[in-house]
């Protein structure tokens, strides 16, 4: 049975990462993002077809997220070495090129399982995106079929609505009246 995560403390994590430059390894934990908003997104696998379109679109919008005091962390069940190889492959060759955020390796599948998006029989994460507030509360989640890429524009809109701190009607955008 699926467990509700929105409105609860986000599941804790610590994972190995490769930085967006494709050269350095590090670690990331939920605590590292305390005091900032976090877009935590999962994707199925490196070197696939839909995933690079999402990852590069999010990277290209990095400045917009930064203006909203928001950090980004991408996650799959692949290793940091596979992530590094993908970052070091050009976009023209189905790679990512340099990114503006790190990619984390959930080799044990614990984090994907804790966030309720692990496809156990395949050992991969579904496309899940989570917005976590500065206090560590999970405020938003969306999970899609592997064939459907997520919208950066919608992610930004929802983030801005959450940060607005009021009742935002459907299709609300910054500058519009709240309820």
Closest by CA position to 37, among listed 10, 61, 72: 72
Active site residue 51: yes
CB atoms within 10 A of CB 108: 10
CA 136, chain centre distance (Å)? 15
Residues 5, 15, 18, 51: which is the catalytic one? 51
CB-count exposure of residue 121 (10 Å: 0-12, 13-18, 19+): exposed
Query: 148 exposed, middle or buried (CB, 10 Å; 0-12, 13-18, 19+)?
Result: exposed
> Mind telling me the catalytic residues?
51
């Amino acid at each position: 049975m699926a467990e509700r995560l929105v409105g609860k403390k986000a599941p804790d994590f610590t994972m190995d990462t490769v930085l967006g430059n494709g050269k350095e390894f590090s670690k990331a934990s939920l605590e590292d993002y305390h005091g900032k908003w976090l877009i935590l997104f999962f994707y199925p696998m490196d070197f696939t077809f839909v995933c690079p379109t999402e990852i590069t679109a999010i990277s290209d919008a990095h400045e917009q997220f930064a203006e909203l005091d928001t950090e980004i962390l991408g996650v799959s069940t692949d290793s940091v070495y596979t992530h590094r190889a993908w970052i070091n492959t050009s976009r023209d060759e189905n790679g990512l090129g340099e990114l503006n955020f790190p990619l984390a390796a959930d080799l044990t599948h614990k984090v994907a399982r804790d966030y309720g998006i692990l496809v156990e029989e395949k050992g991969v994460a579904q496309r899940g995106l989570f917005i976590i507030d500065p206090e560590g509360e999970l405020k938003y989640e969306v999970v899609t079929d592997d064939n459907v890429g997520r919208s950066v524009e919608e992610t930004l809109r929802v983030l801005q609505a959450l940060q607005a701190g009021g009742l935002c009607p459907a299709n609300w955008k910054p500058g519009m009246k709240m309820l």
